[in-house]
Structure 1
């Protein structure tokens, strides 16, 4: 059965579970996972996420009641599958490799990464075990639900400094181990080659193609920012090509003094679950989730993305300097601990790498940031950024967005980002 109460907070395509997601299917999954005969006696299914949490799949929360010879049990699950309803989301994702990628992250990359950390005496947990996965007859991944274990997604407040630092700490360890693997066994991660901007459907989607024109129109109408209009008119025809070059650089020809890792690919606050002590409220853990866009590419892909998708305005307008520097200390320490034998990265080299990938900043500031701040302030739904151009254009005039842009553009100018466009 499917239970829904207040449906307004959920994505429309997650209000009704597909017919195949039933007690018989879950019973087969649990039989294989638990390795004992069992019978599912009840199954409750609800949407797993709120509007704005994600876009590249549909997710359900399932609670299965079942019996074995040992008694009665309950198993809370998260079921992630490809959109089946006809429409924009299905069209954009149907030819993608997101499920193959995520399955490989869970079954190949992260188990090896944790093994390397364990050998170095680091017991950091990088992922939740995958209970079930398939690509045929349908694309499905099932995990144990972290919510009953005390984890939750932050939606109604900014993350604390400690929470953000710990998220960066896990990312730094992930990146460090992947650098070691790339250096010693480069073919091990060769299958991870499909990032967000490698997907033609995304690059050609109205959610992307209308963003820069909307941004330029805003620059034209805000006197304080009009002088920057010329710069963005120069790049409007080649920005997407430059973005693809950034994503494909490792595969097309790695550059000297550049750092390449297996990136998470979508490192933002809604793809993290935080656990705090129930009695004291003290931070205990953060778990990264949603690895559908993980790919081997520039280390700056995750870090630059985090500036716009994870940080609050104050940190963002400093390009995340304090958090990125903290991340680097963990990265460097982990590389030493796990016996990395390649050339050690430097902090100055990392920031130079940032500057070389300035087009990624341009893209994120002129497209993703406006949408995220609008959703965060309840000014826009995700679907409106695709189907309602007028509503999308209005997001570029939101106070929160203009506040950041008025600080970021002068900073970019001072750093030389607008030279040699």
Structure 2
């Protein structure tokens, strides 16, 4: 017996409006590429939806994409009547166009923050162990931002970095007032987003090590709190990220 017996004809044959012009309009809107041109397409029924393989070009470069397209029943009958006044399609459209993109953005940001902290904490944990085992190994790395000549006298420093000025004694602690029970690590020294690169998988690479120095484990964390996190992130995510940082630190050791 045919598997098609439970489907209406309009569920097995694409509606007339589902053509290459429709696909082109949809892709142009999605990619925000007015030059996009659909060059070929293949539409196949898949239960109550349609599989579409579309080939297109953007400024003479060729691409292809596989899509799933759902359609409202068009043939008269129970299914059309049942779904006609329902909100299931507007609900799904809202999910795909409004809700899920926001979820992805938040999760991508969380992944990037964890990637950044993960990269930092692992090499800080390694530096902590090396410093314990070989105390002189980082003797050349004693020059933090405050050691740049005349840095503290600059108007920018006084006006825009007042909180930073209040941390000077903490930043210089290892060099000037070392504590026996403190956790000292190799600090990055300039931990902000412009000194990082991410690939498509949110893996992070740190750049610019000109201001790296030995200091308190809290220094980069305090810096990151204000340079990487938005006010909402500081309110909602800071505790979880700190837990992640110290958990990773311990596990790396």
TM-score by length of 1: 0.33
Residue 302 of structure 1 and its aligned partner are, at CA, apart by 0.5
Aligned-residue Cα RMSD (Å) equals 2.4
Pair 1:268-2:188 in alignment: no
User: For residues 189-237 of structure 1, what are the alpha-carbon distances to aligned partners after superposition, in whole Å with 9 as ceiling and x for unaligned?
Assistant: 011011112334221111012347xx8xxxxxxxxxxxxxxxx9xxxxx
Q: What is the aligned length?
A: 148
2:181 is the counterpart of 1:257: yes
Residue in 2 aligned with 1:287?
205
In structure 1, the gaps of 5 or more residues are 1-156, 216-231, 233-238, 277-282, 336-421
**Deviation digits for residues 288-330 of structure 1 (CA, Å, limit 9, x no counterpart):** 1111110001111110000110112212236822111101111
Q: Displacement, 1:257?
A: 3.1
Secondary structure at the counterpart of residue 143 of structure 2:
coil
Distance 2:158 2:203 in 1: 38
Q: CA deviation at 1:174?
A: 0.7
Q: Out of 151, 172, 190, which is 2:121 matched to? A: 172
Deviation by residue 1:102-159 (Cα, 9 ceiling, x = unmatched): xxxxxxxxxxxxxxxxxxxxxxxxxxxxxxxxxxxxxxxxxxxxxxxxxxxxxxx886
User: Which residue is equivalent to 2:226?
Assistant: 308
- C-alpha contact 2:111 2:202 (8 A) present in aligned 1: no
Task: Give the alignment partner of residue 162 of structure 1, picking from 101, 111, 134.
Answer: 111
Q: Give the Cα–Cα distance (whole angstroms) in 1 for the partners of residues 221 and 202 of structure 2.
A: 23
Q: What's the secondary structure of 1:170's corresponding residue?
A: helix
**SS of residue paired to 2:199:** strand
In the superposition, relative to structure 1, how do residues 201 and 287 fare at CA in structure 2: closer, same or farther (>3 Å)? same
Measure the CA separation in 2 of the matches of 1:319 and 1:249: 28
8 Å CA contact 1:198, 1:248 repeated in 2:
no
Post-superposition shift, 1:256? 3.6
**Partner residue of 1:192?**
141
Instruction: Say whether the 8 Å CA contact 1:307–1:319 is kept in structure 2.
Output: no
Distance 1:275-1:189 versus aligned 2 partners, 3 A rule? same
1:246 CA drift (Å): 1.2
The answer to whether the 8 Å contact 1:275/1:285 transfers is yes
**Cα distance between partner residues in 1 of 2:129 and 2:175:** 17
SS of 2:203 mapped into structure 1? strand
- The whole-number CA distance in structure 1 between the counterparts of 2:202 and 2:236 is 28
Matches within 5 A, 1:6-405: 160-211=109-160, 240=165, 242-276=166-200, 283-317=201-235, 320-335=238-253
